[in-house]
Amino acid sequence: MTFSIIGRCARTGAFGAAITTSDLAVGGRCVRLAHGKGAMLSQHRTDSRLGDLGISLLASGKNADQTVSAVCNSTNDIEWRQIGALDAKGAASVYHGRRMYSIFTHTSDKDCLALGNILANDRITRSMADAFIQDPDLPLAERLMQALEAGRDAGGEIKGPLRSAAVRVTGEHGIDAVDLRIDISEQAAIDDLRVLLNAYGKRADTLREVALAPDGIPVMRSLFDASIERIAELGLEDRFPTARNQGNWSIRD
C-alpha cells in the first residue's frame, strides 16, 4: 500500500525521496537519507530500524548490494519487508519479501529507484522512474514530486484514498533543502503535497541562511513593532528592553 522513489542529484550530491500511502504519517517511518552517501527505503509492514541500519551502512561507504544484504540478514522477519537502497554512486539494490501477497514491483534507472507494493498494476514504478529521468536539470525535489504524481496517475495503490505523502531532499551542513510532509489527508495527499511544495518555493535558501548566518537576516518590521507594542502593553520593558535597544537589530519592511 505504498509507492515511493529515492533519487540522487549527481551535480550536488543530494539524495531525496518521495513517498505516499493510504496509511498515516508515512514520511517519518519509511525514508532515510544521508547527503552524498545514499538513500534507504523500508516499507511493507515497516520496521523503521531497518532503514536506520541501512542508512548507517551507506553512510559508512557500503554499496547498495552490501547494504541490502546486511539489512536482510539482520532480522528474522525480512520476508514481510520491502527494502530498497541507492548508494553514493547511484547504484540500486532491492529485496522483496516472500510473504508479500500483492502486486509489488521496483524499477531502477539512472540515479533512482522506484519501489511499490499493494499496487493497482505492474506499471507504477516504471512510470515513476520515467518521470524522474525525464528532465535531469529540474531541482531534485521537483523530479521526485513529478515521479510521485506519475505513480498516482498510472494507477497507484489498489485501494485508496492516499492519506499521507512526503518529499525530502538533503543539503549540505546537515540541513535538508526540503522536508515536507502531509501526515493526514482526507483523500488527496499527493495533491496536498504539491500545494505545499509549490508554496515552499525557494524557502530552502532563506532557511539555510537563517541557520548558518543569522546575523545577515533582517528582522521583519511588522513583527518587531508588534513585539515592542506588546511588551509595553504588559509593562515588561525592563525585562525585554527591545525598544531602548533598537539599534541592535537590522529591520526590513
pLDDT at 245: 95
Query: Does a structural domain hold residue 160?
Result: yes
CATH number of the domain bearing residue 203: 3.60.20.10
Residues 224 and 204 in one domain: no
Report whether pLDDT(187) > 90.
Answer: no
pTM over the 0.85 mark: yes
d(CA 63, CA 65): 6
Q: What is the pLDDT of residues 141-154, one digit of tens each?
A: 999 999 999 999 99
Query: Does a structural domain hold residue 153?
Result: yes
Residues 99 and 139 in one domain: yes
Residues 102 and 146 in one domain: yes
Query: Does a structural domain hold residue 84?
Result: yes
Identify the band that residue 24 occupies on the pLDDT scale cut at 50, 70 and 90: very high
Report whether pLDDT(204) > 90.
Answer: no
Residues 123 and 223 in one domain: no
d(CA 236, CA 250): 22
d(CA 188, CA 84): 25
Residues 202 and 223 in one domain: no
d(CA 182, CA 163): 8
Q: What is the pLDDT of residues 48-65, one digit of tens each?
A: 999 999 999 999 999 999
Query: Does a structural domain hold residue 250?
Result: no
Query: Does a structural domain hold residue 197?
Result: yes
Residues 185 and 234 in one domain: no
Q: Residues 165, 18: contact at Cβ < 8 Å?
A: yes
Identify the band that residue 11 occupies on the pLDDT scale cut at 50, 70 and 90: very high
Q: Which of 139, 144, 48, 39 is nearest to 92 (CA)?
A: 39
Residues 186 and 125 in one domain: yes
Range of the domain at 66: 2-208
Residues 234 and 123 in one domain: no
Q: What total number of domains does the chain contain?
A: 2
Q: Residues 44, 26: contact at Cβ < 8 Å?
A: no
Residues 201 and 234 in one domain: no
Residues 150 and 229 in one domain: no
Query: Does a structural domain hold residue 69?
Result: yes
Residues 137 and 203 in one domain: yes
CB neighbours (10 Å) of residue 202? 8
Identify the band that residue 203 occupies on the pLDDT scale cut at 50, 70 and 90: confident
Residues 153 and 33 in one domain: yes
Residues comprising the chain, all counted: 253
Query: Does a structural domain hold residue 146?
Result: yes
Q: Residues 227, 234: contact at Cβ < 8 Å?
A: no
Query: Does a structural domain hold residue 137?
Result: yes
In 65-174, DSSP assigns E strands to 82-87, 92-96, 105-109, 112-117, 164-169
